[in-house]
Amino acid sequence: MSLASTYADQRILVTGGLGFIGSNLARALVSMGAKVTIVDSLMPSGGGNLENIADIRARVQVEHVDIRDAQSMESLLRGQQFLFNLAAQSGHAESMLDPQADLEINVRAQVGILEACRRVCPSVRVVFTSTRQVYGRPDQLPVNEAHQIRPVDVNGINKFAAECYHLLYHGVHGIQSTVLRLTNTFGPGMRITDGRQMFLGLWIRRVLEGGVIQIYGDGSQRRDLMFVDDCVDALLRAGADARAGGRVYNVGGAESIRLDALAQRLLSVASNLGLRAKMECVPFPQDRKMIDIGDYAGDHARIQHELGWEARQSLEEGLLRTIRYYLSNPTPYLRSNG
């Protein structure tokens, strides 16, 4: 069965649906004929932005609800066939400053959502987005799903707890849940006002402004960036495939790249579009250094074998499409929220 036929006419809730990944997912679901309800609280520090769904605004239902509001969430979950559970406090440095707030959003609210699923929609298919941050500093590269769980920040601790809750409600209560551990994801709709969502957001802003990209450290650190279309494809496959129930999958980019090389490629792509910017290496800010994980590259063999997913978008093409998007939609990055 094709993905499109899986989702056509289905009732689907996307939490965090005004955010970067959520809005791209909602767009894909709408194009397949799904009945999409978006839940988003538009937290100022988050990635939610109504402009992210400007092109599909008339075809989705938008609920301005905080996932910590258990009563509203239960009401919204009633009758849903799929739940893409993306809403989160995703800032790592922020989580260290206010661990209790991160706990409330990333764990307590998640337990509330899963309890509501038990009560009002026990046959819902759930896909939960977690983070490679749960692994902490890798013992070896690439990192597969059996790697030790050793989070180096509050956000990583809480996201792992929420993963466990999703798997527990699968195993014990029969809620069909799948966990995706995402690496750094980029693309149109990402937060570029600052580096809260990921460092590349701020880099792209600097490129658009003709400024200077700052690389923390000596530039040798490695990351495997994933273009958002590949991420959306993984989400859709995870929701559509019954074999994914109770499973955890790494999802990331095909290529592990040094940050200095990444910056050079970004500058090169930008240059071809007539944008001039520079790069420099600067020491890690203290609040970043203490939760930094060093090099990272994910092993994505499990999701490739079990769900047939692989990263298809090249880094250059992804960077090009991202910069073009912000050249055509310049307003979002000038303010913190839509």
Interface residues with a second copy (CB under 8 A) are 96, 99-100, 103, 107-108, 111-112, 115, 146, 148-154, 156-158, 160-161, 164-165, 167-168, 171-172, 290-291
Looking at beta carbons only, is 213 or 248 nearer to a second copy? Answer: 248
Helices (H) and strands (E) in the chain, counts: 13, 13
Looking at beta carbons only, is 14 or 157 nearer to a second copy? Answer: 157
Looking at beta carbons only, is 179 or 270 nearer to a second copy? Answer: 179
- Could you give the 3-state DSSP secondary structure of residue 86? coil
d(CA 251, CA 311): 8
- Tokens 């790494």 locate to 250
Calculate helix-pair angle for 259-272, 199-209, nearest 10 degrees: 30
Nearest to 251 by CA among 121, 89, 124, 131: 131
As measured in angstroms, the least distance from the Cβ of 165 to a second copy is 6
As measured in angstroms, the least distance from the Cβ of 150 to a second copy is 8
Looking at beta carbons only, is 2 or 286 nearer to a second copy? Answer: 286
Bridge partners (DSSP) of residue 126 are 83, 177
d(CA 188, CA 45): 18
As measured in angstroms, the least distance from the Cβ of 13 to a second copy is 21
Looking at beta carbons only, is 160 or 326 nearer to a second copy? Answer: 160
φ/ψ of 37, rounded to 5, equals -110, 130
Q: Which helix (H) or strand (E) holds 277?
A: none
Report how far apart, in Å, the C-alpha atoms of 232 and of each of 31, 68, 101, 156 are: 13, 25, 28, 22
As measured in angstroms, the least distance from the Cβ of 85 to a second copy is 16
CB 134 within 8 A of CB 169: no
Looking at beta carbons only, is 174 or 283 nearer to a second copy? Answer: 174
As measured in angstroms, the least distance from the Cβ of 291 to a second copy is 7
